[in-house]
Amino acid sequence: MQTATTPAGQPTTTGNHAHHHRFHLPHAHLSSAFGGDWFGLKAEGFARFFGTPTFLIGQSFLVAVWIVTNAAGVASRQELASRQSAQVLELLEQNTALTKVTQELSQRIAGLTAQIHESTCRH
């Protein structure tokens, strides 16, 4: 029995015990790895597309546009962040001022309460 290979690199046997796929092996590389049905053909077409130069160039272009868009938006985001930081600082200053006023009013209320208590309890 002799062994040979097909153009696709598949081993075949010749002689008395010939391989039963010997006529199909030279064309095995033409069949779909995903199957021959509708879904298999679409899946293979989809998978093959992702390796094409068209896809790779298109994807590279989209990534470049995304990078440029983000880079252009950095100045506006920094401006927004600085405005928001200024607003937060202003709110903190207002809160501090209100806390001081609240403490002063609480002290005045405590003093007035003590005066009222003294004047009502003496008589």
Number of domains the chain is built from: 1
CB count, 10 Å around CB of 24? 13
Residues with Cβ within 8 Å of 35's Cβ and at least 6 positions away in sequence, in order, are 41
- Distance between CA atoms of 27 and 8, rounded to whole angstroms? 8
Residue 102 domain boundaries? 32-122
**Are 40 and 32 a contacting pair, CB within 8 Å?**
yes
Local confidence pLDDT in tens for the 123 residues of the chain: 455 555 555 555 555 556 677 776 777 666 666 777 888 888 888 888 888 888 899 999 999 999 998 888 778 888 889 999 999 999 999 999 999 999 999 999 999 999 999 999 876
Residue 19, Cβ density class (10 Å: 0-12 exposed, 13-18 middle, ≥19 buried) = middle
Has residue 71 been placed in a domain?
A: yes
Has residue 4 been placed in a domain?
A: no
> What's the pTM?
0.39
